[in-house]
Amino acid sequence: MLGILLAAHVTISVLVQGEAFVVSSSPGSSSTKAIVASSSRPHRQRSQRPTATTMAAIVGGGRIGCALYDMGGGGDTLVGRGDIIPDGDGPIYVCTRNDDLEDVISRTPPARREDLVFLQNGVLGPLLEKHGLAKNTQALIYFAVSKKGEPPIDGITDANPEGLTSTCGKWAGELKERLAKGGLTCHELAEDRYTARMYEKHIWICAFMVAGAAHKCNMGQVDADHADEVRTLIGELQKAIEVEYGVAFEDGVKDRLCAYSRSVANYPAAVKEFSWRNGFFWDISEKARKEGTEDPCPLHTKLLRQVANEQGLTL
């Protein structure tokens, strides 16, 4: 979902989720070597603000990647699968699937890796820490693009008319201004608030996807026809994260997540990318079972086993 922008004096890289995309670049320029990110730094770097010459790299040619490219005015560089991330300065927006992240990181020059901006769903912390990228910019995307070339639709809900898309890190300011050019809201958050919001969105994906798959309905129908069940499910997943990771959530999690599902009511529900999504809570339950303690996510376990049996999935 991210792309790379090249300018006379500044180069930005972005990664995009989706199909391979032909690389396009502007005339060569002198580049400034980036500082290598270190997971041991106590604080995130100050958010970088874009300038008239700031450009980005976007890796991936899917709907989100192309939307980010359009918001940049067409001056960024789109990087396809298998292409090396060019040297330079500026953000590298990564818009690939989660399973492609290892490959994207390996193709990025070490001096450029602190500029990687991760837009994926799921809990990315362990992967980023493994590569010394724990302080990199991340974003929670609450907007949708129906197909390439179509304008993005912001995730405005009746519970959050100010929008829900959030970001944190070095390139948070650049991303916020880029999205504003596309008419989208974005909130730049401190690390602790961002972390709580990240887990909150993870709860939404895991709860509504497994409930919808179990009842064979879309997101809106989960909220309309199975509200009590999904609210119970949200509550147990929230509690599991609070106990396991000490995360402090803002009040109103259930209301926010149900409201967001109403805003994407026709979105189909399916259990997929298991290791990045529902597998997170399955592992918490498995840990409890091995320790001989009560399953902290019993409803999630029940629904997930039902879906696995019906679809032949291996847990």
What mean pLDDT is predicted for residues 246-259? 98
Segment among 52-61, 185-194, 249-258 with least mean pLDDT: 52-61
The share of the chain scoring above pLDDT 90, in percent, equals: 76
Q: Which segments of 175-235 are extended strands (E)?
A: 187-188
The share of the chain scoring above pLDDT 70, in percent, equals: 83
Residue 17 · residue 97 · CB < 8 Å: yes
Residue 16 · residue 59 · CB < 8 Å: yes
> Is there a single domain that holds both residue 178 and residue 301?
no
Q: What is the CATH number of the domain that holds 228?
A: 1.10.1040.10
What mean pLDDT is predicted for residues 101-114? 95
Predicted confidence band of residue 75 (pLDDT cuts 50, 70, 90): confident
> Is there a single domain that holds both residue 170 and residue 241?
no
> Is there a single domain that holds both residue 55 and residue 119?
yes
What does pTM read for this prediction? 0.82
> Is there a single domain that holds both residue 105 and residue 57?
yes
The more confident residue out of 162 and 7 is: 162
> Is there a single domain that holds both residue 163 and residue 260?
no
* Distance of alpha carbon 55 from alpha carbon 52, whole angstroms: 9
Q: Is pLDDT of 28 > 70?
A: no
Predicted confidence band of residue 277 (pLDDT cuts 50, 70, 90): very high
What's the domain count of the chain? 2
Q: Is pLDDT of 44 > 70?
A: no
Q: Is pLDDT of 76 > 80?
A: yes
Interacting residues of 267 by C-beta distance below 8 A, sequence separation 6+: 144, 218, 219, 220
> Is there a single domain that holds both residue 202 and residue 171?
no
Identify the domain boundary among 169, 189, 209: 189
Domain of 202, in residue numbers? 192-311
> Is there a single domain that holds both residue 122 and residue 205?
no
pLDDT of 12 reads 37
pLDDT of 54 reads 63
Task: Round the CA-based radius of gyration of the chain to a whole number and report it.
Answer: 20
Identify the domain boundary among 189, 223, 249: 189
Q: Is pLDDT of 9 > 80?
A: no
